[in-house]
Amino acid sequence: MTADPSGLAELYLRHRAELARFLAARTGSREEAEDIVQELWLKLNGADSGPVANGRAYLYRMAQNLVLDRIRERSRRGARERLWQDEEIGYQAGEAMDARSNPEAEAAEREEVALVASAIAALPEGARRAFRLHKIDGLSHSEVAERLGISRSGVEKHIAVAMKHLRQRLAD
Amino acid sequence: MKETILDQALAWHGALAGDQADWDGFTRWLEADPSHREAFDSVALLDDLVDRHRPTLAALLPPDPESRSAPRSRRLRGFAGGGAIAAGIAALLVLFRPEAAVPPTWYATANLTREIALADGSRVALAASSRLGVAARGKELILAGTASFDVPHRPGRVLTVHAGGVDLQDIGTRFEVSTGPGALSVAVAEGRLTARLADGQTVGVVGGHRLLVDSRNGSAELRPFAPRDYAAWRSGRLVYDNAPLALVAADVARFAGKGIRISPDLSSRRFSGVLTIGDGSGLVRTLAQFMDLDVRPEGHGVRLVPRGAGGRRIR
CATH number of the domain residue B187 falls in: 2.60.120.1440
pLDDT in tens, B104-119: 677 877 778 889 988 8
What is the phi-psi region of residue B278: left when phi exceeds 0, alpha when psi lies from -120 to 50, beta otherwise?
left
The residue in chain B having the minimum alpha-carbon distance to the alpha carbon of residue A89 is B259
- B144 and B183 fall within a common domain: yes
- B218 and B119 fall within a common domain: yes
User: Which of B163, B157, B160 is closest to B177 using CA atoms?
Assistant: B163
- Asked whether B182 and B215 are in contact (CB, 8 A), the reply is yes
Per the domain annotation, does B254 fall within a domain? yes
Under the banding of pLDDT at 50, 70 and 90, the label for residue A104 is low
- Asked whether B115 and B127 are in contact (CB, 8 A), the reply is no
Q: What is the pLDDT of residue B82?
A: 38
- B224 and B242 fall within a common domain: no
Q: How far is B292 from A38, CA to CA, in rounded Å? A: 35
Instruction: Provide the residue type at B198 as one letter.
Output: A
To the nearest whole percent, how much of chain A has pLDDT over 90?
Answer: 38
* Lowest mean pLDDT across A82-96, B52-66, B248-262: A82-96
The residue in chain B having the minimum alpha-carbon distance to the alpha carbon of residue A105 is B98
Task: Give the residue-averaged pLDDT of B19-34.
Answer: 92
Q: What is the pLDDT of residue B23?
A: 95
The residue in chain A having the minimum alpha-carbon distance to the alpha carbon of residue B99 is A101
Q: What is the pLDDT of residue B212?
A: 95
Per the domain annotation, does B86 fall within a domain? yes
A-chain CB neighbours of B7 within 8 Å are 160, 164
- B86 and B164 fall within a common domain: no
- B217 and B286 fall within a common domain: no
- B219 and B126 fall within a common domain: yes
- B216 and B111 fall within a common domain: yes
A-chain CB neighbours of B31 within 8 Å are 25
- B189 and B254 fall within a common domain: no
Under the banding of pLDDT at 50, 70 and 90, the label for residue B75 is very low
- In this complex, how many residue pairs, one in chain A and one in chain B, have their CB atoms less than 8 Å apart? 212
- Select from B95, B118, B142 the last residue of a domain: B95
Q: In which element (H, E) is residue B160 found?
A: strand B160-163
- B121 and B196 fall within a common domain: yes
β-strand pairing of B219-224 with B209-214? antiparallel
Task: Give the residue-averaged pLDDT of A157-167.
Answer: 93
With a CB cutoff of 8 Å and minimum separation 6, the contacts of B280 are: B111, B128, B255, B256, B257
Residue B286 CA, chain-centre distance (Å), reads 29
Per the domain annotation, does B247 fall within a domain? yes
B-chain CB neighbours of A73 within 8 Å are 102-103
Per the domain annotation, does B100 fall within a domain? no
In whole numbers, what is the pLDDT of chain A averaged over residues? 78
Number of structural domains chain B divides into: 3
Nearest to B57 among A136, A147, A160 (CB): A136
- B110 and B215 fall within a common domain: yes
User: Which of B115, B130, B112, B235 is closest to B177 using CA atoms?
Assistant: B130
- The answer to whether residue B136 neighbours chain A at the CB level (below 8 Å) is yes
pLDDT in tens, B34-47: 999 999 999 999 99
- Select from B95, B120, B139 the last residue of a domain: B95
β-strand pairing of B270-276 with B237-244? antiparallel
- Asked whether B129 and B110 are in contact (CB, 8 A), the reply is yes
pLDDT at A47 over 80: no
Per the domain annotation, does B263 fall within a domain? yes
Task: Give the residue-averaged pLDDT of A127-150.
Answer: 90
Q: In which element (H, E) is residue B43 found?
A: helix B34-52
Task: Give the residue-averaged pLDDT of B243-253.
Answer: 92
* Lowest mean pLDDT across A14-28, A66-80, A123-137: A66-80
Per the domain annotation, does B62 fall within a domain? yes
- B14 and B66 fall within a common domain: yes
Q: Which of B53, B73, B247, B255 to mutate to test the interface with A (most CBs of A within 10 A)?
A: B53
pLDDT in tens, B146-178: 999 999 878 777 888 988 778 898 887 899 999
- Select from B177, B212, B228 the last residue of a domain: B228
The boundaries of the domain holding residue B20 are 3-95
Q: How far apart are the first and last CA of chain B?
A: 35
Instruction: Provide the residue type at A43 as one letter.
Output: K
Q: What is the pLDDT of residue B63?
A: 62
pLDDT in tens, B83-101: 444 444 434 433 333 333 4
* Lowest mean pLDDT across A12-26, A63-77, B68-82: B68-82
- B15 and B87 fall within a common domain: yes
**Beta carbons within 10 angstroms of residue A2's beta carbon:** 5
Instruction: Provide the residue type at B294 as one letter.
Output: D
Nearest to B37 among A21, A28, A156 (CB): A28
pTM of the model: 0.50
